[in-house]
Structure 1
Amino acid sequence: MANLKELRNRISSVGSTMQITSAMKMVSAAKLSKAQDAITKMRPYADTLTELLQNLSASLDGQSDSPLTVQRDVKNVLIIAISSNKGLAGAFNSNIVKQVKNLATGRFKNESISLACIGKKAYEVLNAKSYIVDYHNEEMVNKLTYQEVAEFTEKIMNDFETETYDQVVLIYNHFKNAGTQIVLTEDFLPIKQEQQEVDFNSSQVDYIFEPEKQEIIKELIPKSLKMQLFKALRDSIASEHGARMTAMHKATDNAKELRDDLKLSYNKARQAAITNEILEIVAGAEALSD
C-alpha cells in the first residue's frame, strides 16, 4: 500500500485535474450554445436551397450543361475530411480518420485518393500514414467565414472541371445533439440530378423563371456547393464542442470517483498507522511495567 505522503500527492493531483476538466466542460458548453444556435438557424436556408435546385434539375429531365454535373469514370478521388485543431473530444477526430481509411480500403480501393484536410488533427494522423494531402487548412476551423469557404469551394470546383479529380467526397461530424455526433459521408461532386416528376404548373409549386432554368441552375449549383460545405463546417464545429463537453463531463466524473477512492485508501492507511502507533505505545508501557 502506498504511504500517506504518496496518497496525499495523488489526491491533490487528481483534484487539480478535476478542476481543469470541469473548467473545460463549462467553456465547451458556452461555445456549444453559440455554435448550436448558428447551425440551427442555417439549416432551413441550406435545405430549401438544395430542394429548389433538385426541383429545377428534375424539371430539365436530368439534363444540364453545367460541368459540375458531368459523370466521368472515377479514377482520381478527393476526400474532404473535416476535423478539429484540438483534441480532448473523445472519438470526434478518430471517427473521421477511421471513415477515411474505410473509404480508402473499401469504396475507393481501386482509385487514386487525395485528401483535403480541414483541421489539424486528421491531417496529423493521415499525413503520417502516407496519404496524399493536396490541401490543408487549420484557420478555417479557428475562424470560420463564408468568404474563405467560398474561395476554397471554388478551387475544388475548378479542379473538378479540369479533371484533376473525377469525384469529390465530404466527411464530417453531423451535430444531432450535445451527446450525439454522426459521421456523414456525402458525395460533393459531381452533382447528381435526380429523376423525378415535378409539375411546375401545379398549385404546390408555382415558379416564374427569369432568366431561363438552365441559367438559374448554373448560378444555383456553385451557391449550393458553397453552402453545403459551409453547413458541414458549422455542423463539425458544433459537434466538436458537444463532443468535448461530453468527454470533459465524463473525465470530471471519473476524476471525482478516483479521488473518492484515494481518500478512502488514505483514511484506511491513516487509521492503520494510528492503530500501529497505539499498539506500540501499549507494548512499550507493558514492557516498562515489567
Structure 2
Amino acid sequence: MANLKEVKGRIQSVTSTQQITKAMKMVAAAKLRRAQDRITQMRPYSQKLSAIIQNVSAGVDSSEIDNPYAEVREVSKVLIVVVTSDRGLCGGFNSSIFKSTKNLIAEKYADVEAAGNLVLMPIGKKAYDHFVKRGYNIVDDYHLMFGNLDFGHVMDAAEYAMKGFVEGEFDKVDIVYNEFKNVATQITRQESFLPIQNEATEEAEQTEVIDYLYEPSQEFIFSEIVPKSLHIQFYKTLLESNASEQGARMTAMDQATDNAGELLKDLKLTYNRTRQAAITKEILEIVGGAEALAQGG
C-alpha cells in the first residue's frame, strides 16, 4: 500500500491538473462562442453566393464563357489542403484529419504520390509538423494562419491554390477539414476545391432558371464573381475548422476535468484507508507495548 506522503502528493498533482483543465475549458468556451458566431454568419452568404453561381452557370453557354477554374484535366498533379489546429489537447480533432488525408491519398492519389507530384498545403501547426516529419512535399507558407485568421490572410492561401490550378501546376485541389456541427460533434470532410464542379441537386434542377440581365457583361461577371466565390469557400472552410477545434477542445477539457474528479475520489479514499491503517498500526503497537510492560512488571 502506498504511503501517505506519496498519495498526498498525487492528490495535489491531480487537483492542480483539474484546475488547469477547468480554465482551459472556460477559455475554449469563450473562443467557441466567437467562432460559432462567425461561421453561422458566413454560411448563409456562402450558400447564397454558390446558388447564384450555379443558377447563372445554368443559363450561360459554356462555349462563350471561358472559366479557367472549371477546366477538367487528367489528374497527374495534386494539391491537398490539410486544415488542423495549431495546438493539441482537443481530443481526436487532429488525428481524424491525418487519417482522412492518408486514406484520401491511398485511395485516389497513390500513383500521383509515387510520381512525386503530390503536394500538401498544411494550415495549422499540427498538420505541418506531422507531414514534414513523414517526408511529404509541403507548401510551408501558410501553416501559421490561425494566429491571425482574417479574410486577407486566407485569400493569399486561396490565391496560391487558384493560381497553381489555372497555370497548370496542379490538376486537382482538394481540402480536408473538420466541419462544425455542434459542440460535441465535428464531421471530417474531403471536398474538391478545384476544378469547380456542378453540384446541382434534383431540387435545383426542378427550379425555374432565372433570366439574368448582365451589366456590364457575362464575361466580367464571371471573372469577378467566380474567384470571389472561391475565396469565400476557402475562408468558410477555415472558419468551420476553427469552430470545430474550439468545440473539440471544450469537450476534451470537460471530460478531462470529470476524469480528474473521479481520480481524486479514488485517491482520497486510498488516502483515508492508508491513514486509517497507519493509525490502527500505531494503536496496536501502543497496546502491545503496554501489555509487554505489564507482563514484565
* Equivalent-residue separation in structure 1 for 2:156 and 2:268 (angstroms): 56
SS in 2 for 1:181: strand
5 Å-filtered alignment, 1:113-132, equals: 113-132=118-137
The residue aligned with 1:188 is 193
- TM-score when normalising by structure 1: 0.94
Question: Amino acid of the residue matched to residue 266 of structure 1?
Answer: Y
The answer to whether the 8 A contact 1:58-1:193 is kept is no
The residue aligned with 1:94 is 95
Moved more, 139-148 or 1-10: 139-148
CA distances 1:228-266 after superposition (whole Å, capped 9, x unpaired): 010011111111111000000000111111111000001
SS in 1 for 2:108: coil
* Equivalent-residue separation in structure 1 for 2:35 and 2:251 (angstroms): 15
Moved more, 56-65 or 259-268: 56-65
Query: What percent identity do the matched residue pairs reach?
Result: 50
The answer to whether the 8 A contact 1:56-1:217 is kept is no
The residue aligned with 2:278 is 273
Question: Amino acid of the residue matched to residue 262 of structure 1?
Answer: L
After TM superposition, give the deviation of residue 158 of structure 1 in Å: 1.1
* Equivalent-residue separation in structure 1 for 2:273 and 2:61 (angstroms): 79
* Equivalent-residue separation in structure 2 for 1:238 and 1:17 (angstroms): 25
* Equivalent-residue separation in structure 2 for 1:136 and 1:289 (angstroms): 86
* Equivalent-residue separation in structure 2 for 1:176 and 1:169 (angstroms): 21
After TM superposition, give the deviation of residue 194 of structure 1 in Å: 5.1
The residue aligned with 1:217 is 222
The answer to whether the 8 A contact 2:142-2:157 is kept is no
The residue aligned with 1:20 is 20
After TM superposition, give the deviation of residue 289 of structure 1 in Å: 1.0
Do the aligned partners of residues 156 and 222 (structure 1) sit closer, same or farther apart at CA in structure 2, a change above 3 Å counting? same
The residue aligned with 1:78 is 79
The residue aligned with 2:171 is 166
The residue aligned with 2:260 is 255
* Equivalent-residue separation in structure 1 for 2:199 and 2:284 (angstroms): 87
Say how many residue pairs are matched: 286
Question: Amino acid of the residue matched to residue 187 of structure 1?
Answer: S
Question: Amino acid of the residue matched to residue 218 of structure 1?
Answer: S
The answer to whether the 8 A contact 1:39-1:238 is kept is yes
* Equivalent-residue separation in structure 1 for 2:59 and 2:213 (angstroms): 13
- TM-score when normalising by structure 2: 0.92
Question: Amino acid of the residue matched to residue 10 of structure 2?
Answer: R
CA distances 1:154-212 after superposition (whole Å, capped 9, x unpaired): 22111111111000001111111111111111100011135757644xxxx46332233
212, 220, 225: which one aligns with 1:207: 212
* Equivalent-residue separation in structure 1 for 2:211 and 2:82 (angstroms): 39
The answer to whether the 8 A contact 2:56-2:212 is kept is no
* Equivalent-residue separation in structure 2 for 1:288 and 1:250 (angstroms): 57
The residue aligned with 1:9 is 9
Moved more, 145-154 or 122-131: 145-154
SS in 2 for 1:110: helix
The answer to whether the 8 A contact 1:69-1:190 is kept is yes
* Equivalent-residue separation in structure 1 for 2:186 and 2:199 (angstroms): 28
After TM superposition, give the deviation of residue 62 of structure 1 in Å: 5.3
Question: Amino acid of the residue matched to residue 216 of structure 1?
Answer: I
Do the aligned partners of residues 268 and 194 (structure 1) sit closer, same or farther apart at CA in structure 2, a change above 3 Å counting? closer
